[in-house]
Amino acid sequence: MESDIILRVNGREWPLRVDTRTTLLDALRERLGVTSPKKGCDHGQCGACTVLLDGRRINGCLVLAVACDGSEVVTAEGLGTDGELHPVQQAFVDHDGFQCGYCTPGQVCSAVGMLEEVAAGWPSAAGRPVADTPVLDDAEIRERMSGNLCRCGAYANIVTAVRAAKEVSR
């Protein structure tokens, strides 16, 4: 079964006919050639496919494209470009928050979404009482970024990068 939808990706509109089984991730990667979000597991277990969907971080492999009709999708490619990187991206470069780079666009989108969540007062499982205003210390960063696996093991540098980006955005 197929459906006609419109996806808005990094500010550009794409009318698209999709198999209703197609995930947002596959629609981006295989139909639109937007390969910044990566496929690491296709099951919501790794975070490599993280994009911002209407401003919130989500796993692109867990959302069907047909459910995103009219939605705004922002990928790491939409956050910044070479020469004009987003502060989170610049911090990842400065602190070497990656090696192979395959998890990285997902980490970047996740960090951007996460900083918004903290600003909005969303709690985490890091151990603080949920009613408290979250303070983004390293333990909070680690907890809130744990949905994004990195097999290269760049976590220590990712935390440093996110902390640095948070400082810049202050």
Partner 1 sequence: MSGLLENTSTRAIGADIGRVDGPAKVTGTATYAFEHQLNAPAYLHPIQATVVRGRVREFDTRDAEAVPGVLTVLTHDNAARLADIGDAELAVLQSDEVAHRGQVIGAVLAETPEAARQAVRLVRVHYEERSHDVRFSAARTDLYTPGEAEDDEQGDLAGAMASAPVTVDHTYTTPMEHNNPMEPHSTIAVWEDAGLTLYESTQGVHSVRSTMAELFGLDPERVRVIAPHVGGGFGSKGPLHPPVVLAALAARLLPGRPVKLALTRQQMFDLVGYRSPTIQRVRLAAEPDGRLTGIGIDVTAQTARFKEFLEQAGKPTEVMYAAPNRRITHRLAALDVAPPTWMRAPGECPGMFGPEVAMDELAVACGVDPVELRVRNEPGTEPASGRPFSSRNLVACLREGARRFGWQDRDPEPRRRMEDGWLVGTGVAASTYPTGQMPGSVAAVRFEDGHYHVRIGAADIGTGAWTVLTQIAADALGVPVTAVRLRIGDSSLPSASLAGGSTGTVSWGSTIVAAAQAFRERHGTAPADGAEARAGLPDNPNRERYAMHAFGAQFAEVRVHADTGEVRVPRLLGVFAAGRIVNPRTARSQFIGGMTMGLSMALHEDSVVDPRFGCVVNHDLAEYHIAANADVVDLQAHWIDEADPYVNPLGAKGIGEIGIVGTAAAIVNAAYHATGVRVRELPMTLEHFLA
Instruction: Summarize as ranges the residues that interact with ligand FES (CB under 6 A).
Output: 39-42, 44-49, 59, 61, 98-104, 150-152, 154
Contact range with partner 1 by CB under 8 A, out of 52-60, 63-71, 115-123, 143-151? 143-151
CB of 51 to ligand FES, least distance (A): 10
The two three-digit tokens of residue 82, written as one number: 């070479």
Q: Is 36 exposed, middle or buried (0-12, 13-18, 19+ CB in 10 A)?
A: buried
What is the SS3 assignment for 160? helix
Q: Strand 72-74 and strand 2-9: pairing?
A: parallel
Give the bridge partners for 110, in sequence order: none
- Report whether 77 contacts 109 (CB < 8 A): no
Q: Which does 55 bind (CB under 5 to 8 A by kind): ligand FES, partner 1, none?
A: none
- Report whether 51 contacts 109 (CB < 8 A): yes
For partner 1, the binding residues in 27-86 under the rule CB under 8 A are: 29-30, 33, 35-43, 45-46, 48, 75-77, 79-83, 85
Q: Which does 26 bind (CB under 5 to 8 A by kind): partner 1, ligand FES, none?
A: partner 1
Amino acid letter, 135:
V
User: Which positions touch partner 1 (CB under 8 A)?
Assistant: 19, 21-22, 26, 29-30, 33, 35-43, 45-46, 48, 75-77, 79-83, 85, 89-90, 92-94, 96, 98-105, 108, 141-143, 145-146, 148-159
